[in-house]
Structure 1
């Protein structure tokens, strides 16, 4: 019973980042929100490596300019393609940069799932296929790591 609970928790911890990133992916791909241009006006240093950035979002449809929260990895003066959230309070990078940045969190979850099949096989006492499960685990974990690092590099470049 304890092992079943552990596997369910493992699945939950690894799948939750994928669920949480769905909204960001919809924004980055343009399926949600309003397309436009974001000009970062200011970034305030809050200490401990945290920043609060503000910007002006100009919608492509010609609507009025909107004051929004910008990504904390922005710098004052940045001008980039962005999507305005449906709530209208924040703009996120759009296009390739936005999609890659939004995929960083699912990459963490994917990496965590890599060795789950091996662990289950080990607990069940299965001898056949464990080597393949290890190989698959290495590949899936490596893919998750590459996705995560690529997303982080895209977000901070």
Structure 2
């Protein structure tokens, strides 16, 4: 094993582990909500999506602040209007859960699961791509094969998460 190959595999792996530990809290909450293990279940109807601009000049981008009318499955509770994810359209109806904090509604089911794994799979693919490029530069055949084999399923997961989760 060459030094180049070791560096191409160890540095991205270390970054990956550090990022996964850092993101574990956020991803765990969204996955639990998507599977219906956390939060209060109900049905959400999107009532508004207001655009707002962040940044200036070339770094300027438009985000959306969306709200839903959330009807609890438990009919003893009154419906509320609360924030939700920005990947929705006005009039859309979806099954969701109100987070334990009560500040937003997250989608459940297949859409919610894929949405929750989008960020981790994107980060993992980015790190695998970085390792792959490093392996190409050092011309380490084994590292190219390993990083390519690791990156390909991550790329597929990321594409499926984008298509299904948004």
Residue matched to 2:63: 50
Report how many residues are paired: 145
- Alpha-carbon contact 1:82-1:91 (below 8 Å) kept: yes
Q: Distance in 2 between matches of 1:50 and 1:33?
A: 25
SS of residue in 2 equivalent to 1:136: helix
Stretches of structure 1 that go unaligned for 5 or more consecutive residues are: 124-129
Could you tell which deviates more after superposition, 62-71 or 83-92? Answer: 62-71
Residue matched to 1:64: 78
Stretches of structure 2 that go unaligned for 5 or more consecutive residues are: 1-6, 54-60
Structure 1 position 9, deviation (Å): 5.6
Q: Distance in 2 between matches of 1:103 and 1:10?
A: 18
Structure 1 position 50, deviation (Å): 1.0
- Picking from 16, 25, 30, the partner of 1:11 is 16
Q: Distance in 2 between matches of 1:58 and 1:149?
A: 32
Structure 1 position 132, deviation (Å): 4.1
Q: Distance in 2 between matches of 1:81 and 1:17?
A: 28
Q: TM-score, normalised by structure 2?
A: 0.73
- Alpha-carbon contact 2:69-2:82 (below 8 Å) kept: yes
Residue matched to 2:39: 33
- Alpha-carbon contact 2:45-2:92 (below 8 Å) kept: yes
Q: TM-score, normalised by structure 1?
A: 0.77
Structure 1 position 12, deviation (Å): 4.7
- Picking from 88, 94, 98, the partner of 1:80 is 94
Structure 1 position 102, deviation (Å): 0.9
